[in-house]
Structure 1
Amino acid sequence: MIPIGSAGSDSAVIPDNRLVRVGEDMLFNRILSTAAIAAALATSVQAADVWGLKPGKPALKSATTLAFGPEDILFVGDAKAAAIYAIATGNKQGDAATASINIEDLPGVLAGELKAKVVEIADIAVNPRTGAAFAAVSADGAPAIVQIDGVGKVTVLSLENVSFSSVTLADAPEDKVVGEGRRAQNRRTESITDIAFFENKLLVSGLSSAAAPSTVRELNFPFADADRGISVEIYHAAHGKVEDYAAMRTFVPMMIDGEPAILGAYVCTPLVRIPVGELSKAGDRVKRTTVAELGNRNRPLDMVAYSKDGAEFLLLSNSALGVMKITAAGLQDAKALTEPVAGGGSAGQQYVTVDSMKGVVQLDKLNSTSALVLVQGDSGRQDLKTVALP
C-alpha cells in the first residue's frame, strides 16, 4: 500500500495497482486531450482552407459591426477602412441553449480587461452555436474584439496571429468631412451600418460614393472583389417623399413565404422589404416596398427576428421609441405605403412597444427563448443582460 496525502485522520491510501490504474487513466486522458486539440486544430485548418482564411494580423482601423458566419467565423465591419474581415474565432465550446450572460457596467469591465480608460461598445453579436457573445469596441480610440462566454467570462480576442480574410468595399465614401455647420459629416463612418450572413452571402448596408448613396451589397464568401452594390430607393412616409440618400441603419434577413428577403429600418422610421433575389438583377438601383412607418424623430439601433408560439416577429430597438415587437405576419402581401404619414404617426405593419425593455441600445438573439441586450440606464451605465424574448 502507498499512502496518498499527509499523515493523520484525513490521509487516504489506495492499492498499488489502483495507483498504476490512475496513472494509466491520466495518460489516457492526456492522449484524449491531445487528440481533441489536434482535432480542433485540424477543423480550424480545414475551415481556413474552405473559406480562404490565411494566418496573420487583421489591420483593423475600427470595429463597428459584427455578424457570425459558418464554422464560428466572425465578420467584422470596419467602417473607417470601408472593409470587412472574416476572422476564425476558435470559439467552439459552449451551448447557446444554456447560455446566460449578465454583467453590470460592461464598459467598465471591458476597460479593466483592455487596460483602457474609455471603452465604447459599437456592436454585440452572439455565436448561435456556442452562446458566446462578441463585442466590437473602441478602447481609448483603438479597435478591439472581446469575447464573453456563456456564463459571462470576459477575454480579449487576440488578433496577433489568427486565420482571416478581408475585402475592401468598392466606391466607399471618402474619409473626410463634407458639408458645413450642422450638416457637416464624414460619410465614411456610414460606409458600413449593418452586416448579416445569409444564404452563403454577406449582406451589407451603408453609404457609397454614388449619386444615390443608400446602398445594399451582396458579397460572395469566400471573399472575391467587392461589387459596387445596389442603390436603394424608398418611399419615406414621415417625409412624404421618395428618398435614396439615407443609409439603412439595421436589418435582418429572413424567409418570407419561402423567398429570402431583407427587412430594413431607416432613420425616422420606415421599415422596408427587399427581396434578396432582386439585388443581383436590379442593375444599379432598386426601388423597394415600404411596409411600415413606425414614427419620426427616431433612430433605429438594432433588430432581430425570432419565432414564438408558432408566429414570427421582429424585435427593433430605437433611440426614442423604445423596443418594438413587430409582427411578420402578412409581410409578403403587405401593400406599399405611398401616402404621407403626418404628426409622428405610424402605418402599415403592426407592432407593440415592449415596456419591460427600456434603454436597450444593442440586442441579439441568444437562443430560442432569450435575447442578449445591452441596456443603458438613466445614469449612463450600460449593463449586459439576458432577457426572455417577449
Structure 2
Amino acid sequence: MRTKLLVAALLLASAATGRAEDLKTGTPELKSATALAFGPKGLLFVGDSAAATIYAIDTGDTKPAGDKALNVEQIDSKVAAVLGVAAKDVKVTDMKVNPASGNVYLSATRSPTSTTPALVKVARDGTVTAVSLKDVPFASVKLPNPATTAKGAPAVITQMAFVDGKLIVAGLSSEEFASTLRVIPYPFKDADKGTGIQIFHAAHNGALETHSPIRTFVAYKIGSEDNIMAAYTCTPLVKIPVADLKPGAKVKGKTIGELGNRNNPLDMIVYTKDGKDYILMSNNNRGVMKIPTAEFGSAAPLTAAVANGDTAGVKFETVKELTDVMQLDKLNDGNALVLVKAGTGFNLKTVPLP
C-alpha cells in the first residue's frame, strides 16, 4: 500500500510540474543548435547536428504571456548583448514560438565562424534573456547513423516537428539514401536508423535524388492520412505519408510542385483563413509563398523535367508584402512572427497571415 501511495504521489508531482518522468536534472552539453521544436507544456527540443543528438529540455515556460503583437527592432543586437558578443558575430539558426506561453525562442551561434550554440528567450514584452542550461530537467537521444562528411554534418538535423507524441526529424544520414526522416517516440528510448527518402527533382533535369536533405517541412493531414509536406533546395514540394516511415525502409516521396530553382526554402507553417488551409513558406531567393492545400490530395506527381526557372504542379502566389524573411513561425491564429533583414541587422515583426 505504501509503495502504491508513493507511486501515485510521484505521478501527481510529475503532472503538476508538467515534467515527463524521463527528464533528469543536469547540464546539456550542446555542440550546436541547428533546429528547434516545441512539444507539450513548454518542452523544447533542440537538434544538435554536431553531436548527432536531440535534447528535450523542460523550459518551465508554461504561463500564458498574453496575445499582444511582438515587434523588436535590431533583435540581433539585443541577442548579442545578452550573449556578450558583437552583433556581427550572432547568427540565428532557428526560431520557434512556445505554444504553451506565447514566448519566442531563438537558437544562435556566438560567432559566424563557429558552431558554439546559445539559446535565447524573447518574452512577449520584448525582453531578451539567455536561456541557462545549467541544472535543467532534460533528456536526450543519439542518432545512430549520422552523416559524417564535413559538408553533410551541419545537415544531420535540418528540421523537427512534434506530432501525436512523436518527434519527426529530417536530415542526412550515412545510409545509401542519405536523405532521412526519423520518427522518434517521446519519452525518448532510442532512435532507429530512420527511413531513406527519394524524390523526383524536376528542376534538376528530372533527377531522382536521395542525398538532398529536406530543408523544411510541416505535418499535414490530407483526408484521414497524415503526411509530411517537405521542401527541398531548388525547390520541389513533396508529399510523404507518415505511415510509410518505417525503420530501414526506402520511400519515394510524391513531388507535387516545383516552386523554382536557385532557391533554398527556410521555414513552413500551416494556417487556416476563411475556412481554407494554406502553407506559408519563406525562401532565401523567391520570397514568401502562399500555397493553397486544396489540391494536395488530387495533385498528380511531376514526372517531367522543367526548364530553367520554370515552376510546375500545385499553384502558389508570392506574398509581395513580405520580403527578406529569414525565419518564420505561427504566432497565433491570425498572425505570423518573422525575422527579417533590416539594414545590417534583423527585426522581429508580427505580421497578419495573408
Q: Same fold (TM over 0.5)?
A: yes
Deviation by residue 1:228-269 (Cα, 9 ceiling, x = unmatched): 011101100111121111000000011111221100000000
Flag structure 2 segments of 5+ consecutive residues without an equivalent: 1-11
Higher-Rg member (1/2):
1
2:77 to 105, 108, 126: 108
SS at 1:94 equivalent = coil
How far, CA to CA, are the matches of 1:95 and 1:265 in structure 2? 32
Residue 90, structure 1, aligned to residue 60, structure 2: yes
Structure 1 CA distance, aligned partners of 2:246 and 2:229?
Answer: 17
Instruction: Tell me which of 152, 155, 158 is aligned to 2:126.
Output: 152
- Give the Cα separation in 1 of the matches to 2:20 and 2:340: 39
CA distance in 1, matches of 2:302, 2:26: 49
1:121 maps to 2:86 = no
Residue of structure 1 equivalent to 2:275 = 310
How far is 1:134 from its partner? 0.2
Amino acid at match of 2:171: G
Equivalent residue for 1:53, pick from 23, 41, 52: 23
Counterpart in the other structure of 1:208: 173
Structure 1, unaligned stretches of length 5 or more?
A: 1-40, 178-184
Asked whether 1:241 is paired with 2:179, we answer no
1:77 aligns with 2:43: no
CA distance in 1, matches of 2:122, 2:323: 23
- Fraction of identical pairs, as percent: 45
Match of 1:381 among 342, 345, 348: 345
User: Secondary structure of 1:150's match?
Assistant: coil
Aligned AA (1:302): D
Aligned to 1:278: 244
Correspondence for 2:8 = none
Shift of 1:343: 2.3
Pick the aligned partner of 1:223 from 164, 188, 192.
188
Please, what TM-score do these two structures have when normalized by structure 1? 0.84
For 2:102, the equivalent position in structure 1 comes to 131
Q: Which amino acid aligns with 2:63?
A: Q
- For residues 190 and 254 of structure 2, the distance between their equivalents in structure 1, rounded to whole angstroms, comes to 29
Q: Distance in 2 between matches of 1:46 and 1:151?
A: 25
Contact 1:375 1:382 (8 Å CA) reproduced: yes
Report the residue type matching 1:389 in the other structure: L
Instruction: State which drifts further: 147-156 or 320-329.
Output: 147-156
- 1:359-370 superposed matches below 5 A: 359-370=324-335
Question: Matches of 1:85 and 1:44 in 2, distance apart?
Answer: 21
- Asked if the contact 1:326/1:352 (under 8 Å) is kept, the reply is yes
Q: Flag the structure with higher helix content.
A: 1
Displacement after TM superposition at 1:225 (Å)? 1.2
- Report whether the alignment pairs 1:161 with 2:135: yes
* Superimposed CA distance per residue, residues 140-173 of structure 1 (whole angstroms, 9 cap, x where no aligned partner): 3421111111221111111101100001111101
Q: Residue 113 of structure 1 aligns to which amino acid in structure 2?
A: V
Tell me: CA distance 1:43–1:105, structure 2 relative to 1, closer, same or farther (3 Å).
Answer: farther
- CA shift digits 1:87-139 (9 cap, x unpaired): 0001122246x132111111111111111222110000001232100000112
Q: Determine the C-alpha separation between the residues in 1 that align with 2:330 and 2:160.
A: 15
Tell me, in whole angstroms, the C-alpha distance in 1 between the residues paired with 2:59 and 2:281. Answer: 28
Aligned pair 1:257/2:223, yes or no? yes
Separation in 2, partners of 1:123, 1:49: 25
Computed over aligned residues only, the root mean square deviation of the Cα atoms, in angstroms, reads 1.6
Q: Work out the number of aligned pairs and report it.
A: 337
- 1:49 Cα deviation (Å)? 3.7
Q: Which whole-Å CA distance do the structure 1 matches of 2:216 and 2:315 have between them?
A: 19
Change (3 A) 1:332 1:129: same
Counterpart residue type for residue 347 of structure 2: D
Q: CA deviation at 1:330?
A: 2.1
8 Å CA contact 2:14, 2:20 repeated in 1: no
